[in-house]
Amino acid sequence: MLKMAIITGFLSQTKDRFHEYNAPLTVDEKFKLMSEMEGYDGVEIVYPYEVSDVEETKAALAKYNLNVAAVNVNVKAEPEFRNGGLTSTDSAIRARAVDIIKSSKDFAQQVGADKVTCCPLGDGYEFAFQYDYADAWKHLIETLGEAADYNLEIPLYIEYKPSETRGRCFVDTAAKALCLLNDMQCDRTGVTLDFGHSIYGNENPAEAVAMLSQSRYDYYIHINDNDGRWDWDYFCGTKHFLDYVEFLYYLKKYGYSDYFTSDTSPTRWDIKGTFEANSRLTNKIWKLLDQIDTARLETLIQGGDYLETWKFIEENIFSIK
């Protein structure tokens, strides 16, 4: 089976603008729930809000036989980061954001994680003439570059997202994330590719995988789905099934072997059932890709006759014969 993980904040109470969903759980209770799910052994834990005590976290991981897929460092929730932390015009605020990421790398190393992932959601803008874009980019290079260069044993992965909490995030595409890493000039960095962020940002997630795989940087995967208009964090395959198959096809082609981490919000649906659906479908598609004639599919793709390719998809992916 594939290596499957969950962002553990989704195992507890979540909120939108109008409703609360599910009951609040302690870290121990979240890990216990995870241990009862088929197909999962990894957690992506949020530092410093969800976890911050090294020994307590290690004890809970050992108790439920779980691994850390990544430590997700939050640099958006503090009041001083409301108008951006990593790109703030106040150098003291930028330094505070960098210190939190550095601290998260130390925490990750101590609890046995091999990476820190950061989605700089507070860094962006809403209106014309609101920010000096060149200054903001320069600050991103400086702040994330300093954080990346610290404790090189734990690489820093940058997760991109089109919007939220800002109307437009500065790091909003795979291409821009790669530009940022190239400007930072630290090889111990990577990109976190979230299927849903790519979809609603009008990217093709499979193309993003291919582009990242041709770079010198590693990448790490979040899985979910949405309607292309917002980051609803639905479970996998519910809106973009064939896109998800193509996404997995290219991950398999380029030898991805890290965790598939569910960035999925159960809201109205059973928590355990939702995440087991992600694992079940992803593993079934991965197995299907082992069974079909991928050499034939490659030949069809190269041949340029999409009607023939579509016949192959009908028969081998949709099993309509």
Residue 136 pLDDT > 90, yes or no?
A: yes
26 Cβ neighbours under 8 A, 6+ residues apart: none
Residue pLDDT, tens place only, 44-90: 999 999 999 999 999 999 999 999 999 999 998 889 999 999 999 99
Q: Which amino acid is at 289?
A: L
Please state the domain extents for the chain.
Answer: 4-292
Residue pLDDT, tens place only, 206-263: 999 999 999 999 999 999 999 999 999 999 999 999 999 999 999 999 999 999 999 9
Choose among 284, 276, 271: nearest CA to 244. Answer: 284
Q: How far apart are CA 89 and CA 83, in angstroms?
A: 9
Between CA 198 and CA 202, with CA 199 as vertex, the angle to 5 degrees is: 85
| pLDDT band at 17; cut points 50, 70, 90 | confident
Collapsing DSSP to helix, strand or coil, 104 comes out as helix
- Between 3.10.20.30, 3.20.20.100, 3.20.20.150, 3.40.50.620, what CATH number should domain 4-292 receive? 3.20.20.150
Choose among 19, 26, 18, 17: nearest CA to 9. Answer: 26
- Residues 301-321, mean pLDDT to the nearest whole number: 96
